[in-house]
Structure 1
């Protein structure tokens, strides 16, 4: 594997250790009840590796119903003009 420069893809050591120069951002929704839909939403951006490149899957999730409100699949993270 070393001769062919092939390596396994897995989490490397110490990835979960916190860097102390970074500030801690407080969790703003702790102990907060979400009684109505469309009151609190979150976004998730996932990097998908493909054979020849990569794609980004972006999803907007409603916290009340835990359902996906909208999603987009793109090869860049840039803003796309509305169609």
Structure 2
């Protein structure tokens, strides 16, 4: 699920599988980089088992994005 709050693209991945999350994130990364209105992107993964968080971190690193991490989310900057 995507939300827009001014200059932040927010992606909530609660309840998604890693396969579903990958599809959502790859589309969201494209939208984030091609839309000059966004300055940051927040990806909410929740606490859960940690599987989704590890997967998302690995994908962010693979894409060479600048990010910070909290217990249940990631913030990405351009």
Give the alignment's TM-score, normalised by structure 1: 0.22
Bigger relative contact order, structure 1 or 2, given CA contacts below 8 A and separation 6+?
Answer: 2
Whose strand fraction is larger, Structure 1's or Structure 2's?
1
Q: Larger Rg: 1 or 2?
A: 1
